[in-house]
């Protein structure tokens, strides 16, 4: 069994974005929503809006941004899947793949978001463990056509069958998450300019990480 070459896949994922920048369009909307949420959080109390509505709006945008990030992950999984066979990036063809499974993708995204969010807020270690075990639910839903509960079960199996590589990859994902958070925090102090920069850089980081993640999934499942 060949070992997943993380360095090589990091370069391949970056080259795919450089050669097909339209992939970033998939992640721009969730990135924009998260950037606006970040903007509302770090700008303090805006004169034209109450603190309650500002904080509530920030939270709602963050939740919606995370949910749409899962949908973007499904689309990029379809893009990578299609690219492996067709040798071309076609966003419309990827959308047709996801569209057939959209209800299940939406349901599993809600389940993951709720469970991950709840346990991360109240029990950080359990939240991270759950996120680790649920790592492949979206790709399994898109590629295998699993229903949400089958995808969760099969993700558990896939992770426990490949614990070392999955743990290494999970740490890499957390690293990118930390880098993204720090960038959002730093650029958030630039006001509207920071909002624009966060949207663009966030979209690039999300697209890059999702491409790498999809490649890792296909490596584990031998597609």
Instruction: Write out pLDDT tens, residues 115-155.
Output: 666 555 566 677 788 888 889 999 999 999 888 889 999 99
**Which of 74, 75, 94 minimizes the C-alpha distance to 85?**
94
pLDDT of residue 42: 66
The stretch 163-180 carries a mean pLDDT of 90
- Cα 114 from chain centroid? 15
Tokens of 23: 């992939």
Q: Is-contact 61 34, C-beta < 8 A?
A: yes
pLDDT of residue 3: 72
Q: Where are the domains of the chain?
A: 27-212
Query: What contacts 43, CB < 8 A, 6 or more positions away?
Result: 188, 191
Question: 50 pLDDT band (50/70/90 cuts)?
Answer: low
Tokens of 175: 């690293």
Alpha-helical runs (H) found in 43-162:
51-86, 91-100, 102-122, 124-133, 137-139, 148-161
**DSSP SS3 for 141:** helix
pLDDT of residue 57: 73
Instruction: Write out pLDDT tens, residues 56-86.
Output: 777 788 888 888 999 999 999 999 999 988 8
**Which of 207, 183, 187, 185 minimizes the C-alpha distance to 196?**
187
């Amino acid at each position: 069994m060949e070992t997943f070459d993380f360095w090589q896949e990091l370069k391949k994922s970056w080259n795919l974005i450089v050669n097909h920048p339209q992939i970033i369009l998939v992640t721009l909307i969730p990135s924009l929503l998260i950037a606006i949420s970040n903007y509302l959080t770090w700008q303090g109390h805006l004169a034209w809006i109450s603190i309650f509505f500002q904080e509530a709006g920030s939270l709602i945008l963050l939740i919606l941004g995370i949910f749409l990030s899962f949908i973007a992950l499904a689309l990029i999984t379809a893009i990578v899947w299609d690219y492996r066979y067709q040798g071309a990036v076609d966003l419309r063809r990827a959308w047709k793949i996801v569209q057939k499974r959209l209800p299940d993708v939406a349901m599993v995204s809600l389940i993951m978001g709720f469970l991950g969010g709840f346990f991360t807020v109240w029990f950080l270690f359990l939240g991270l463990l759950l996120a680790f075990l649920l790592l492949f639910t979206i790709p399994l839903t898109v590629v295998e056509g699993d229903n949400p509960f089958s995808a969760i079960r099969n993700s558990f199996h896939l992770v426990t069958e490949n614990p070392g590589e999955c743990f290494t990859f999970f740490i890499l994902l957390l690293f990118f998450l930390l880098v993204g958070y720090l960038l959002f925090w730093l650029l958030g102090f630039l006001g509207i300019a920071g909002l624009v920069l966060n949207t663009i850089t966030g979209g690039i980081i999300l697209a890059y990480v999702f491409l790498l993640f999809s490649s890792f999934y296909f490596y584990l499942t031998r597609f």
